[in-house]
Chains A and B, each alone.
Chain A
Amino acid sequence: MEPVLSVQNISKNYSQVQALKNVSFDVPVGSVFGILGPNGSGKTTLLGIILDIIVPLGGHYSWFGGMDAVQARRQIGSLLETPNFYHYMSAFDNLGISASIKQHGIDDRIRVLEKTGLLQRKDSKFQTYSLGMKQRLAIAAALLGGPRVLVFDEPTNGLDPSGIAEMRELIRMLNSEGITIIMASHLLDEVEKVCTHVAILKKGELLLHGPVDNVLRSDDILEVKAADMDALQNVLRSMNGINSIQHVNDLLLLKCVAEMKASDINRYCMDKGIVLSHLVLKKKSLETRFMELTN
């Protein structure tokens, strides 16, 4: 199937700083695609370029297998850093402008306002809204007319914990309705929880991209300990599937092949007459992995 979005060799400079360097990737249909990177890595610039509010230095992108970019944007809902609306107009009228530009969704306004809990305040002016309401109105605008793709820039930024949970639930729900989601985030945890695919940016360079499970796969470590550490080490050396053994403090740290289970080690040692006094499987934290990737 044609990717929803194909980005090819996009570059962008801000005076001396190179914000993006030859970035290329595809966003598969139906994915939740995370663009992950620390602050200043070029995530927002990249989103700006694919929405034509930032002009790239080089490279190109295509939506829906080469649809005209203006037509394509009418099928995309976006939520960039700040909600942008006419201050002197009501939520309902503001959505009217968005729908008129999109050329569809004018009858959809009540539904999206209800979905975002703003129906009661639909006739209040935008300038009277609280920050949270402004953000919800931006979500309402993004959902107007049933988009094929949603683009979110740091969707949980500035939200309280329950807001964050709601937002993630919303993203999952929309994705389950078949909407492809492209989101930028500097939170590894968020990407891991929500995304199916990820592209990692660092200082404008695309380090890795692909399914989350591949990109963020981390090697597990087994910690073992026994009364006779030397005997234990000898036994383990003879075991298949252990890639390395490290003696740290009074523990042995084992790096094993992916299929290895803690119970395999335990059984093997028992068979060889060694009783383990300590056996712990340690997942290497994703943060560590992320730091490795981006430093």
Chain B
Amino acid sequence: MTSLLAIEWLKLKRYKTCWILISFFIVLLPLWNYCIIEGMINMGAKGVNIFNPSYSFPAVWSNVGFWATLFVVLLSILVIIITTNEFTFRTHRQNVIDGWSRLQFFHAKVLLLIMLSLAATLYVFIVGAIFGYANSGSFNAMFNGTEKVFYFFLFTINYLSFALLAGILIRRSGLSIGMFLLYIFVIKNILTGILNYTSHDWNIGNYLPLQSGSELLPFPLFEMARAMIKQGPQPIASYVIASIAWAIIYYFTCRSILLKRDW
């Protein structure tokens, strides 16, 4: 297992695009949150700001967690690029010819994606802890609401494994990235809307691929509003289960494509 990761590391350590995308994630996440806290990024007028600038514990986890999901798109694009690179350079074949099984090739990518998700989650936790401390003055309530950090991990695993599936299915980098963005920004929202509208209280649309993850980290104001109008609690557990189920489905879909298809 470590040897698979070590080889993925050899492939990536000199790949500039990879480090540029990761740097963007590292820099933009705290910068964005900082601008929200300072009110430099805001939405509303006359003293009303619907971006909730509350960054003390535990609200900081909802805020940092939600905004971090935006930047997961960068990591998803990275996963698509490194996957489709293998097909473009035909190195997926070379890896197998050199003595990987097809599954080892696949599992190297899966492990990489898990490590990337873990690292991103750890980073979100650190950024959240720092902003929380700066705005609460102490670490006392720090572990309240850290389940949001776990939700962020699930969200990221979902996005990155979906990105891996897109790369393996489509094989071409531009088209895969295009289809991926089209799905998350347009098609997913249309389908969620239609399904939620027609299924009434069941909200089936919330269980669509990637949507179940988003439901775990909603826009902070919606969460507040929901609490204020005393609407029933969100079925968080079912979103967690749905997210895990989707990740497993992506895994087995990729696996079966890679085992059956000619390379």
Contact = CB atoms under 8 A, between A and B. Distances in A.
Interface of A: 48, 51-55, 69-71, 73-74, 76, 78, 80, 82, 84-90, 93, 96-98, 100-103, 141
Interface stretch (B10-18, B30-38, B133-141): B10-18
B93 A84 contact: yes
Contacts, number: 80
Nearest to B108: A101
Given A52-B96, A100-B7, 8 more contacts: A55-B260, A69-B101, A86-B11, A89-B11, A96-B10, A100-B10, A101-B99, A102-B99
Contacts of B261: 55
B3 A73 contact: no
B10 A88 contact: no
Contacts of B260: 55
A98 B15 CA distance: 17
A53 B96 contact: yes
B101 A70 contact: yes
Contact of B98 (A48, A71, A73, A88): A73
A150 to B, nearest CB: 12
B49 interface: no
Contact of B6 (A82, A90, A100): A100
Interface residues of B, number: 27
Interface string B64-103: 0000000000000000000001000111011111111110
7 contacts: A52-B101, A53-B262, A54-B262, A76-B97, A89-B11, A101-B95, A103-B3
Interface of B: 3, 6-7, 10-11, 14-16, 85, 89-91, 93-102, 104, 260-263
A101 B262 contact: no
Contact of A54 (B3, B10, B14, B263): B263
Contacts of A53: 93, 96-97, 262-263
A80 B100 CA distance: 17
A136 to B, nearest CB: 16
Nearest to A68: B101
B7 A97 contact: yes
A51 B99 CA distance: 9
B57 to A, nearest CB: 43
